[in-house]
């Protein structure tokens, strides 16, 4: 879950840099809201368990949207990465 969000964030950063190459974006918002989570869920206090269950529930409800956004950003980044003048020397006048 966190890896996919991180990857989507990286793709969006690339998208922003391709849209505005001279602008620098440095706003980083940490995703981790719970620190030092024990690996054994049985050891989790009730409050921590409810926080994690809520995060997982939200993730599951939005997972398809995140995948679609990731696909859209990847396609946009590929299209934006092509230089504007790359098709100028084709030889035809169409």
The pTM of this model reads 0.54
CA angle 61, 64, 69 (to 5 degrees): 120
- In this structure, are residues 5 and 66 in contact, taking their beta carbons and an 8 Å threshold? yes
Alpha helices in 20-45 (DSSP H): none
CA angle 8, 13, 18 (to 5 degrees): 125
Per-residue pLDDT of the chain (94 residues; tens, 9 = 90+): 778 888 888 888 888 777 766 655 555 555 555 567 788 888 889 998 998 898 888 888 888 888 898 888 888 888 888 776 666 666 665 5
| DSSP code, position 43 | G
Tokens 């030889």, residue located: 91
């Amino acid at each position: 879950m966190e890896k996919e969000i991180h990857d989507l964030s990286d793709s969006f950063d690339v998208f922003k840099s391709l849209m505005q190459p001279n602008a620098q974006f440095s706003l980083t918002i940490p995703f981790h809201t719970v620190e030092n989570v024990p690996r054994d869920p049985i050891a989790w206090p009730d409050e921590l368990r409810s926080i994690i269950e809520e995060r997982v529930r939200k993730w599951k409800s939005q997972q398809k949207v995140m995948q679609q956004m990731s696909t859209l950003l990847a396609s946009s980044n590929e299209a934006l990465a092509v230089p504007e003048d790359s098709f100028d020397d084709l030889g035809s006048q169409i």
